[in-house]
Amino acid sequence: MSLTKYKAKRNFKDTPEPEAKSERSGKNRFVVQEHHATRLHYDFRMEAGGVLKSWAVPKGPSMNPKDKRLAVMTEDHPVKYLNFEGTIPEGNYGAGVMHIWDTGTYELEDEKSYKKALEAGKVKFKLHGEKLQGTFQLVKLKNSEKNEWLLIKSSDDFSVETAYDATKISHESSGVKKKPGPKCITLK
């Protein structure tokens, strides 16, 4: 749980992203950001240990338990990133438009601490978001050099059996009250 990598990748004079400061809020919040970078992906972040543990999910999350969505763990982000939307200017790391696609709180499903669950390569949690609800798990792929995990919905009252495509669900339908964001265009 450290923001050293986050800091090293960014020039805060040139990006509107929050500075590298860890803070313990005592809350368990999560966010999914739709990130129109070189390739569209969804950043899934969970508050733990004063930072946001983060995964880049190329296809976005799914509410269908049959989908095993690749989730590549990325560097820890500051807690303030929970509220970040905007345009990361060209020439910066992750350049492109970022929108909040969903946000809410989570509960860990078992007694284990978050850190222990991460070390064990299996984090099971319940999400209370606008779009994402119910139980999910993140499972680390064995022998993965790139820190690859799978994000999988568990069958429950919230799961669906129909095809689920995050890219077809607008970030504007999140119900999250916010200022008008930037236009949803992809920078080259």
User: Which residues lie near Mn ion (CB under 5 A)?
Assistant: 35, 43
| Segments of 6-164 assigned E as strands | 29-36, 40-48, 51-57, 68-78, 86-88, 96-108, 122-129, 133-140, 148-153
The minimum distance between CB 132 and Mn ion, in angstroms, equals 17
The minimum distance between CB 38 and Mn ion, in angstroms, equals 10
Specify the residue, 17 or 43, whose C-beta has the smaller distance to Mn ion. 43
CA atoms within 13 Å, Cβ hemisphere of 141: 16
Pick the closest to residue 52 from 5, 110, 120, 119 (CA basis).
5
Pick the closest to residue 102 from 22, 21, 158 (CA basis).
158
Give the CB-nearest residue to Mn ion: 35
Specify the residue, 60 or 65, whose C-beta has the smaller distance to Mn ion. 60
The minimum distance between CB 83 and Mn ion, in angstroms, equals 16
Specify the residue, 113 or 186, whose C-beta has the smaller distance to Mn ion. 186
The minimum distance between CB 40 and Mn ion, in angstroms, equals 10
Specify the residue, 44 or 164, whose C-beta has the smaller distance to Mn ion. 44
